[in-house]
Amino acid sequence: MLKRQCPLEFLDQCEAALAAWVAPHALPKASLWAMLGAADALLHAAMAGDITQHQAQDALQGMVLAQRGSCKL
């Protein structure tokens, strides 16, 4: 239960942090889960030396901006 609760709380924090970017619309929960999964994969790739930290940050930022553009207006 605790393992599931932590990501849910983190998703709520992410949703709140991104709210100003997508206002007045909200990001779908599926998009938030996708970004969380991507962030985790990018973290592991950067830690393994497969990509740089800068590449990981750029990729995640690109995903966030793409989701912003896909919000229904």
Amino acid at 8: L
Give pLDDT tens digits for 12-71. Answer: 888 888 887 776 677 888 888 888 899 999 999 999 999 999 999 999 888 888 876 665
72's CB contacts (< 8 A; 6+ apart) are 25
pLDDT at 3 over 70: no
34's CB contacts (< 8 A; 6+ apart) are 63
Identify the pLDDT of residue 70.
63
Are 63 and 32 a contacting pair, CB within 8 Å? no
What's the CA angle centered on 68, arms 51 and 24, to 5 degrees?
150
Identify the pLDDT of residue 21.
73
Any idea where the domains of the chain sit in the sequence? 2-70
